[in-house]
A and B are shown apart, each in its own frame.
Chain A
Amino acid sequence: MCLGLLLTCALFTACQKKEEIKVYRVSKAEPETSVSESPSARGMPPAAATIESGNQMTRGMPPAASSMVAGLPPPPTSQVTGTPPSNWESQPLSSMRQLSYVVKGQNGALADISLVILAGSAGGVLDNVNRWLSQLGQPGITEGQLAKMTRHQQSSLGDVTIVDLEGLPQGADAAKDGRIVAGIAFADNRTFFFKMRGNALLTESQKEPFVRWIGTIRMDAPASAPGPTAAPAANQDNPPIKWDVPGEWKPVAPSSMRYASFAVAGQDGESADISASVFAGNGGGDLENVNRWRAQIALEAIADADLKALIIPVACKDGQIFTVDMNGPKSRILAGWARVAGKSWFFKLIAPTQLADREKAAFVKFLQSVQFHP
């Protein structure tokens, strides 16, 4: 009996061990960094390593995969440009950072500046501000408190919400921490995070240059971006699609992430912004997207359970587009999306309420005319 128990314990322990997550600390000055490791030999068993002829290291790896080892695509190249102040020094970019700078003050004071772009809603303004506050060791705030501490800056990305937060987290170096000035913009189904974090006095002195820098940010349109045609032709990056554009809508040059843009004028200089965008994959969850759009027109987020009631399907020429119609205090968003052949299409109209009311019928007609596979 004891033996049985012993064997069972041993077998169970061995099975559990295979899935056990290990945590350990290693010195940054790892010994192996002294000599570069040949990627071709990395991790091969000796049976392969001992073979002296032929490229055994890439056996079993298809040609394309083999080439990936040596010729990986570089991290996404930045299509964002801006004009930083002359005293900011560029830093190496990471896969997250599209732009990265550091500014140095006196007595070792530092501030780190970055632009990070995330797909989808990325949590909205309040959640992110509370996240930054927690980084500074400060308690979170409410929507009402947030409204009092934000300012707005116009840029090519649209409205940028700017916050200035103070606090020194426990154990932090005051020369390098103590304040965050940050900006958030939502454009083309992406969230742009501008952030400067560092020494409180240095950050204060760099606040206005930081805000001016945000104003200089431009998204460079890629060469293959479609032109402002009413019925865009297929190109290398995007699949073919056809639609009928209402007569009053004027084509506008699309940004790098818009497939096509249109504008229609209303009264008193008002205008409606209509866009069509396409993304690989599912383009974020429906709830995330809807709540991001709601945040853009100052509506509170909804729960998943309430989403279904909000969605109205509209039949287009060769499929179905799911739509939502959301009316905020001042403006209204009509949006539609469809997932076709591994890509997600988004259609959106945002305008002051009266103008959106007027254009709703045209927008629905536009959606009905969409043909994903012409």
Chain B
Amino acid sequence: MLHRLFDFVSSLKLTIICLSAALVLVLAGTLAQVNFGIHEVQQRYFHSLLIWWPPGVQGLKIPVFPGGHLIGAILLANLIAAHLRRFRWSWEKLGIQLTHAGLIVMLAGGLFTDLFSVESFMRLAPSETKNYSEDSREMELAVIDESDKDLDQVTAIPEARLRKGGTIEHESLPFRIVVRHFYQNSRLQPLEKAPKDAVPAATEGVGSQVVISEIQRATAENDRDLVSAVIEISPIPMGGEVTSPSLGTWLVSDQLGAPQTFSYSGRKWRLVMRPERYYKPYSLTLRTFTHERYAGTEIPKNFASRATLIDPERKENRDVLIYMNHPLRYRGETFFQSGFEKNDAATVLQVVYNPSFVAPYAACVIVAAGLLFQFAFHFAGFLRRRKKAQLQ
């Protein structure tokens, strides 16, 4: 049984199936961008194990096709298994084996990059200092305990958890959060401008003055969903009994500018829906942002950010220059000069954490070495045979 399984996993048939499935997936994903947008398609088709149907609906769904991660993982397993099965040490085969090893490293690196890399952005206005970057595609509900006079304790609940709904309890929170409704993309409207029979989004805070409605997901490349949720802050029952009143329902949304605070257990709390944040043990302060254009045009020639990097732990305090193709690499993260805002009001740095960033470089070197060796080996053989023929 195991032998048959190993035969199948290492078979060329499986390779063909995977490559065919990958072709279909790419075609389907490309077509789906019309309705879902590139980011959603990446998540749903390529960064997933399975593609579920119907899309974007809560409740019962069925898997209809393998996703990019599954196809990639099977292809990787297939390649390794084939490699193990057919591996015979000989100088003659070394080039081919190196090339396959390079492909394995590339596939594994791609998979691990998909799974574990984090991309975020740091927007800095001149003289502004930040010690965090943000992922504008993923929101988080930050429940902030502001009681301490020096430090805020942040409990960050990711969008994916809010989307799941239900009750959220966490040891850092003395209350529980019940997700009453999650809106992947929403529109807010002041209650006074809404139709007469409209119902406020929530009973407390700004939400009691606002009407919310769900709208179609944003699909254009530069658009993004405006994520909102209606949550209820309620006490954790002790011994089956509720010992204090519910604090009502609250609307949390990235569109809300007004802070929302409440008191519970003698502590002051703040609710914020915001882009997911990645705090760092160091900070960057933007000193200058340079934006050069080709003479007489608006075409960017060069844009660069000079910033001060301060890391108290490592006693770093130095100026760094980040510009196109010259990123800052620090503590495993890479800061690329990514963009800028209108009228050069701020610079935008792309911050990438990729633990397997070496994999593609290593894979290219291994594949190149393999191909070179294979070519050289065969070329040497050809020369030998030719010389031999000439001698005869």
Contact = CB atoms under 8 A, between A and B. Distances in A.
Contact of B156 (A7, A21, A48): A21
B339 A60 contact: no
Contact of B263 (A24, A53, A62, A96): A96
Nearest to A38: B345
Contacts of B198: 342
Contacts of B275: 42-43
Interface stretch (B23-31, B215-223, B357-365, B379-387): B215-223
Interface string B139-152: 00000001011111
B187 A24 contact: no
A107 interface: no
Interface in B187-235: 187-193, 196-200, 203-206, 208-210, 215, 218, 220-226
A50 B336 CA distance: 13
Interface in A1-25: 3-4, 7, 10-11, 13-15, 18-25
A47 B69 CA distance: 26
A3 B221 CA distance: 37
Interface string A127-143: 11011001100000000
A80 interface: no
A3 B223 contact: no
A64 B348 contact: no
A24 B247 contact: no
* Secondary structure call for the B interface: mixed
B158 interface: yes
A81 B255 CA distance: 32
A62 B243 CA distance: 42
Interface in A31-81: 31-32, 34-35, 37-39, 41-53, 56, 59-62, 64-65, 68-70, 72-76
Contact of B188 (A32, A64, A121, A342): A64
Interface in B225-282: 225-226, 242-248, 254-258, 260-263, 265-266, 274-275, 279
B33 interface: no
A95 B206 contact: yes
Interface stretch (B11-19, B94-102, B129-137, B314-322): B129-137
B220 A60 contact: yes
Interface stretch (B52-60, B108-116, B326-334, B369-377): B108-116
A18 B193 contact: no
Nearest to A341: B197
**Which one of B160, B198, B339, B342 has the greatest number of beta carbons of chain A within 10 Å?**
B342
A72 B348 contact: no
Given A7-B77, A10-B115, A35-B125, A69 B257 contact: yes
A191 B191 CA distance: 23
Contacts of B200: 280-281
A293 to B, nearest CB: 16
A75 B187 contact: no
Nearest to A18: B160
B147 to A, nearest CB: 11
A122 interface: yes
Contact of A239 (B196, B265, B341): B196
A94 interface: yes
Contact of A39 (B121, B187, B193, B257): B257
B242 A123 contact: yes
A341 B136 CA distance: 37
Contacts of A69: 255, 257
Contact of A25 (B111, B151, B346): B151
The size class of the interface chain A forms with chain B is: 35 or more
Interface in B142-195: 146, 148-158, 160-161, 164, 168, 170, 172, 186-193
Interface string A306-346: 00000000000000000000000000000000000111000
Interface in A146-161: none
B348 A96 contact: no
Contacts of A298: none
Contacts of B246: 120, 122
A60 B154 contact: no
A106 interface: no
Contacts of A342: 197-199
Given A19-B164, A28-B152, A49 B170 contact: no
B348 A65 contact: no
Nearest to A54: B342
Contacts of B265: 134-135
Contacts of A18: 158, 160
Given A41-B345, A73-B190, A342-B198, 12 more contacts: A11-B69, A21-B168, A22-B155, A23-B153, A23-B154, A32-B130, A32-B132, A45-B137, A62-B187, A65-B255, A95-B206, A342-B199
14 contacts: A7-B73, A26-B151, A27-B152, A31-B128, A35-B128, A42-B123, A43-B136, A68-B190, A73-B191, A96-B204, A118-B245, A118-B248, A127-B245, A342-B199
- 6 smallest CB-CB distances across A and B, nearest first, come from A60-B223, A50-B339, A31-B129, A123-B245, A46-B339, A122-B245
